[in-house]
Structure 1
Amino acid sequence: MPATVEFHTGMADKIGFACRLLRKAYARGARVAVTGAPELLRQLDDALWLFEPQQFVPHVRLKAGQQPAPRLLRTPLWLLDAGAEPPHREVLVNLGPAMAEGPDDFQRVIELVGGTPEDRDAGRRRWRAWEAAGAKIVHHAQQATGGPAPGPA
């Protein structure tokens, strides 16, 4: 189990927040696997191509049962459909709504929870599941602008 699970909650634009988070992770040399609903992963894939025209964020979308070409294995960011096997186990970012598959194998887990009622409810279920598993949870509440909220939430 990862030592800490980070929850980023309340962002108005979860895809935009994920793009900024992944750009920062890439700049720091982190290797990240991203899980979530297929539609969210498609939106994130599209957004990463258009997010910063002058700063490409290399990524691969991997569907269940697909084997990545050997030349792609150095790619630092992987968008994983359910059942797809990540090529590394460094950082896991979960866009939800369900628990990611095999999160215990990762060194670090980041849960992103948007501001919609459905997303908040799904995030609360994941929070309770992590608590029940004994994970230490760190909470980062966001304002509607995507920045940190003042004080504890």
Structure 2
Amino acid sequence: MTEVAFHFNAPDKLGYVCRFVRKALRHGAQVTVTAQPGVLAHLSARLWKSAPSDFLAHAGPGADPQVQALSPVVLVQQAEASPHRDILLNLGETVPEGLEGFARVVEVVSLDDMDRAMARNRWKDYAARGLAIQRHDLVLKGM
């Protein structure tokens, strides 16, 4: 069964996503990130601008399927478009279709009131599907 985790109170949402991806890659996981095109473009820029020793290789939206298969991180609008099934990091406004095929789904929630409200709706959707949800408060963890 798919595991779901919400990471709340990220002051810099995309910065946290970059750190999360880096850590997942160190553990040998492959990551799929879903979001709207504008968010994916900003995230892609952040991933490319990492320090040379911290480069986070990824395939952006519309990349050739062979490139996606070889990339440890894939940025897509639709989860089903990714060849990977380890971690689905959802930055979208709704629960992604096809989440059942992933081992883990991670939601990153900022301090923004609108982002928090949309996250509450996604939480309810996951719960209605019968999925167990873990909560990680980044303020308490000290990020």
TM-score normalised by the chain length of structure 1: 0.85
TM-aligned CA deviation for residue 84 of structure 1:
6.1
**What RMSD over aligned residues (CA atoms) do the two structures have, in Å?**
1.8
CA distance in 1, matches of 2:35, 2:67: 25
TM-aligned CA deviation for residue 82 of structure 1:
3.4
The 1:120/1:96 distance shift into structure 2, 3 A limit, reads: same
Counterpart residue identity of residue 10, structure 1? N
The 1:72/1:138 distance shift into structure 2, 3 A limit, reads: closer
CA distance in 2, matches of 1:108, 1:16: 20
3-state SS of paired residue (1:40): helix
Structure 1 residue runs of 4 or more that deviate by more than 4 Å after TM superposition: none
CA distance in 2, matches of 1:141, 1:14: 13
CA distance in 2, matches of 1:104, 1:84: 10
Contact 2:59 2:67 in 1 (8 A): no
Alignment of 1:1-153 (within 5 A): 1-2=1-2, 4-63=3-62, 67-68=64-65, 70-82=66-78, 85-143=81-139, 148=141
- Number of aligned positions between the proteins: 142
TM-score normalised by the chain length of structure 2: 0.91
Counterpart residue identity of residue 148, structure 1? K
Q: Which moves more between the two structures, 45-54 or 19-28?
A: 45-54
3-state SS of paired residue (2:74): strand
Identical pairs, percent: 36
TM-aligned CA deviation for residue 67 of structure 1:
4.1
Contact 2:79 2:98 in 1 (8 A): no
Tell me which protein shows more helix as a share of its residues. Answer: 2
